[in-house]
A and B are shown apart, each in its own frame.
Chain A
Amino acid sequence: MMRKLTGKIAVLTVMLIFTACSPTQVPAQMLINGAGATFPNPIYQKWFAEYAKVDPSVRFNYQSIGSGGGQKQILAGTVDFGASDGPMSDASLASAPGKILHIPTVAGADVVTYNLPDNPQLKFDGQTIADIFLGKITKWNDPRIAGQNPGVKLPDSDIVVVHRSDGSGTTYIWVDYLSGVSKEWESKVGRGTSVSWPTGLGGKGNEGVTGQVKQTPGAIGYVELVYAKQNKLPFADIKNAAGEYITPSIESITKALATAQIPDDFRFSMVNPPGQGAYPISGTTWLLVYETQKDAVKGKKLVEFLNWAITQGEGMASALDYAPLPDSVQQRVLERIKTIKY
């Protein structure tokens, strides 16, 4: 009797599982898949949520798996768009089955944060930061730091360098900047999402770097502006190419975008731009799409979204602490979106 009952229960369970797994009626809604950078994830999620109100017939699914993953997936064609904090290399682009366009969306900045007694407001120029991260300036009261910070009492203690241990777009912007201001950095270390650090401790993620800096007297590190602001970390003013010390802010990043040299394929670096008032350690993030879309309907929807994002969407950036593209760049990007064929 018992066994019969058990048998029946087993059969019922199996049936239940199958019913649960069988495809339910899918509403006639198109799904566009994307994957990539984590840094712009909050603004992208905001855009997708807002865009759902504009065009309810399309739904976006974005997975923030990292820039490397975004590049790999768009190359493999497993997603409809990719996203990356660093531009794709020539070799990667050449290996793609079609022409991939870089669509810049928003920009962010790295700030220099530190842990000193009473955390005075500090100022640095690029060469000094590069030498600190190269391990050539090792004391806080080094004349090159003191010279830029008259009136600040700097301790006679060791500088403890903290960097990101995980590969990240934040690191890319940081080493891109250091390569731009220091020949020695460029030849010894170079640019990349992970590099061989000459000195210091590695912290995982913004929270890891922040943790290390907060716990270690005399530490210096870099984190995203958004993260530094939200966590009320002290951050330094940085000397730009025009010779001014600039406080990182949405405005000073947008100024950097406005004066950066931007080539037609939009694979640009915006560190150390020449303009006045521009914060020098900033970078943009890109959406990656194929110029020739395979699926006509999907392609059309994607282009409609991109147009919306670059116009309406940009207005939502500042509220989430991202710098929007200036008008001049928006116009150029819209022109480029027009070239997408479907």
Chain B
Amino acid sequence: MQTVATAQDTTALPGRHLTQRRFGDPAFKWFTTLMALSVFVLIVLIGYKLAQGSQLAMRKFGWHFLLSSEWDPVSEKFGALPFIFGTLISSLIALFIAVPLSIATAVFITELAPRWIRQPLTLFIELLAAVPSVILGLWGIFVMVPWLHEHLFRWLRGTFGYLPLFQGPDYGSCMLAGGIILAIMIVPIITSVSREILRSVPGLQREAAYALGATRWEVTRLAVLSYARKGMFGAVILGLGRALGETMAITMVIGNNPQIKTSLFAPAYTLASVVANEFNETTGSMYPSTLFEIGLVLLGVTVAVNALAQLLLKTFAGPGMKRQH
């Protein structure tokens, strides 16, 4: 490939440009390599600094830190388990709500919507992504939580009250409210990326399916969704990444209580929130070190979840997916 291009260049361009090309291509290659490498270096540096900052806490608590549920800054007893639990469960709830919503929206926009409505709808979804999380959090506490408390939670309790998930006292601010606000935050990113992927499905695929007499639903399911499955999984992972690390909005509505409860109506706490809440007033050396370790745990949880997702993708995708790439 490269030799052909060079040969063409020599004939088409004056000699002066040849030397520039020789310089240009390697420079381009090195530039992009450097940029890609810098992302890697950045992550390693962040991990290193977090590990360095959490030395004190690591030495004192060891692995017990990940398993203990106690969080008492006054007597300096710390454990991360309730925060890990809160982060994972709230993100799971968010995915549970956001994935069907986003994918359906993306399918509607690319496959079904009349042309005139596509652009405004896309614009609205992207506007949602532009709402700062602290604004969303304030809206959450003053508008969303009271509404949930009055309507949705009451209905859930009435309809599914026999499940332990929907029992216990309900204050409005709780794990479920946290999951819902996260869902609102990740819908735009999953929708936008899914939409782009669906748009990149070749028209031939659809035409072929129609030619076989498939209905609209069948075309979407067989020709479009199955083709775009892998990419859409990537979109979901992007959303999950955002959900795991979200701080301000969720801390406003999750109730901020480090506890592990079965009920989704119980207040909970997340890793990112506790760092944001407590770091600027920490004194001494052990307490800030613990928050550094919480940061490290968050990084670890994110990496672990992403790795798990990749593994799932490999298992799910199966041999049928391979031919596309």
Which residues does A use to contact B, with CB under 8 Å? 65-69, 71-72, 86, 88-89, 91-92, 158, 160, 165-169, 189-197, 200-204, 207-208, 211-212, 214-216
B242 within 8 A of A: no
The docked-state distance in angstroms from the alpha carbon of A165 to that of B137 is 14
A65: B residues at CB distance < 8 A? 280
Q: Which of A68, A202, A204 contacts B281 (CB 8 A)?
A: A68
B141: A residues at CB distance < 8 A? 203, 208, 211-212, 215
A165-B277, A168-B281, A201-B173 known; A190+B74 contact, CB < 8 A: yes
Contact status B277-A204, CB under 8 Å: yes
Within 8 A of A (CB), among B126-164: 137-138, 141-142, 145-146, 149
Contact status B251-A204, CB under 8 Å: yes
Minimum C-beta distance from A88 to chain B (A): 8
Proximity bits, B162-176, A CB within 8 Å = 1, else 0:
000000010111000
Q: Which of A168, A193, A196, A208 contacts B283 (CB 8 A)?
A: A193
Proximity bits, B275-316, A CB within 8 Å = 1, else 0:
011111111100010000000000000000000000000000
Proximity bits, B100-131, A CB within 8 Å = 1, else 0:
00000000000000000000000000000000
B145: A residues at CB distance < 8 A? 211, 215
In the complex, residue of chain B having the shortest beta-carbon distance to the beta carbon of A71 = B283
B62: A residues at CB distance < 8 A? none
A165: B residues at CB distance < 8 A? 251, 256, 269, 273, 277
Which residues does B use to contact A, with CB under 8 Å? 70-75, 137-138, 141-142, 145-146, 149, 169, 171-173, 251-252, 255-257, 267, 269, 273, 276-284, 288
In the complex, residue of chain A having the shortest beta-carbon distance to the beta carbon of B20 = A3
Contact status A66-B280, CB under 8 Å: yes
The docked-state distance in angstroms from the alpha carbon of A208 to that of B249 is 11
A166-B281, A167-B282 known; A202+B267 contact, CB < 8 A: yes
Q: Which of A168, A193, A208 contacts B252 (CB 8 A)?
A: A208
Q: Which of B142, B255, B280 contacts A167 (CB 8 A)?
A: B280
Minimum C-beta distance from A158 to chain B (A): 7
A88: B residues at CB distance < 8 A? 283
Contact status B257-A200, CB under 8 Å: yes
The docked-state distance in angstroms from the alpha carbon of A92 to that of B318 is 59
Contact status A69-B280, CB under 8 Å: yes
A69: B residues at CB distance < 8 A? 280-281
What are 13 A-B residue pairs whose CB atoms fall within 8 Å in the complex? A69-B281, A167-B279, A194-B282, A195-B73, A200-B257, A201-B267, A202-B255, A204-B251, A208-B141, A211-B141, A211-B145, A212-B173, A215-B142
Contact status B281-A194, CB under 8 Å: yes
A89-B284, A204-B277 known; A211+B73 contact, CB < 8 A: no
Contact status B257-A167, CB under 8 Å: no
A193-B281, A215-B146, A216-B171 known; A202+B257 contact, CB < 8 A: yes
In the complex, residue of chain B having the shortest beta-carbon distance to the beta carbon of A215 = B146
A66-B281, A167-B282, A215-B149 known; A192+B171 contact, CB < 8 A: no
Minimum C-beta distance from B134 to chain A (A): 10
The docked-state distance in angstroms from the alpha carbon of A165 to that of B142 is 17
In the complex, residue of chain A having the shortest beta-carbon distance to the beta carbon of B247 = A204
Minimum C-beta distance from A109 to chain B (A): 19
A196-B72, A204-B251, A204-B256 known; A67+B281 contact, CB < 8 A: yes
In the complex, residue of chain B having the shortest beta-carbon distance to the beta carbon of A95 = B285
Contact status B257-A211, CB under 8 Å: no
The docked-state distance in angstroms from the alpha carbon of A215 to that of B140 is 11
Contact status A68-B277, CB under 8 Å: no
Contact status A92-B74, CB under 8 Å: no
The docked-state distance in angstroms from the alpha carbon of A197 to that of B71 is 9
Contact status B282-A191, CB under 8 Å: no
Minimum C-beta distance from A205 to chain B (A): 9
The docked-state distance in angstroms from the alpha carbon of A208 to that of B169 is 20
